Amino acid sequence: MTARRDGHDYVLKGTKTWITNGVYGTCFAILAKTDAGAEPRHRGMSMFLAEKGPGFDVGRKLRKLGYRSIDSAELVFDDYRVPASRLVGGAEGRGFQHAVGGLELGRINVAARGVGLARAALNDALRYSQQRRTFGKPICQHQAIQLKLADMATRVEAARLLVQQAAGKYDTGQRCDLEAGMAKLFASEAAVENSLDAMRVFGGYSYSVDFDVERYYRDAPLMCIGEGTNEMQRIIIARQLVERHPA
């Protein structure tokens, strides 16, 4: 994705993919290379505010495993002209910093969504286990189910507290990349684990679209990918630990 200066405009050319609300949205923050030869590669990028118009089209709507309540699309820019006044920050080369600046809040946001998914899976599993009966009693009275419910509840509470800690630091203007990374890592993994445990509690009915548990199972993995993969979160956490606790 490139942007070249042409008089009072910039001309954007290239494609963007996996853009949330790409089909129905009208205005987007676009990261583009204004200096193709800059090293390292993350330098030389600038951010623009772009509204749909001539040269700016939706290439296709992407079909997804989960998270279907909002669209994801490919955006195509073919000599799309954007006024130079739409350059965020008023100077070239600051795009990467603008993008990274929103990651702490973005990771807290994803972590909070992870807590919601993990809690929904727990609530549905708990309710179903109280209604479903085998061998003359509700399955919540079977030890195997009790072990799953206990683990699910513990994950929800631990994830919630991590998110609360990270959000509290962010709200007071403190640096919280370590806390946001921990919250995002743990809460998203809790969502995946709880959704799978909920499916096991539901048994065969977990494969039916009559229950929400199958949707939780499809939606949860996105939390491990969005706003930086969990593998990246682990690296960030380790680096911050070393930085904050030098030998």
What does the pLDDT profile of the chain (247 residues) look like in tens digits?
999 999 999 999 999 999 999 999 999 999 999 998 888 877 899 999 999 999 999 999 999 999 999 999 999 999 999 999 999 998 899 998 888 888 899 999 999 999 999 999 999 999 999 999 999 999 999 999 999 999 999 999 999 999 999 999 999 999 999 999 999 999 999 999 999 999 999 999 999 999 999 999 999 999 999 999 999 999 999 999 999 898 8
Instruction: Report the SS3 class of residue 52.
Output: coil
Handedness of CA 33, 35, 37, 39 (dihedral sign): negative
CA 157 to CA 180: how far, in whole Å?
Answer: 16
CA 172 to CA 48: how far, in whole Å?
Answer: 29
**Helix spans in the chain (H):** 95-101, 103-131, 143-171, 177-202, 213-225, 230-244
Question: Do the Cβ atoms of 48 and 86 come closer than 8 Å?
Answer: yes
For the question of residue 227 being annotated catalytic, the response is yes
> Looking at the domain 2-92, which fold is it?
Butyryl-CoA Dehydrogenase, subunit A; domain 2 (2.40.110)
Task: Output the CA angle 108-114-116, nearest 5 degrees.
Answer: 110
The pTM for the full model equals 0.90
Single-letter amino acid, residue 206: S
Catalytic residue among 39, 227, 231, 243: 227
| 102-244: CATH number | 1.20.140.10
Domain ranges for the chain, please list them. 2-92, 102-244
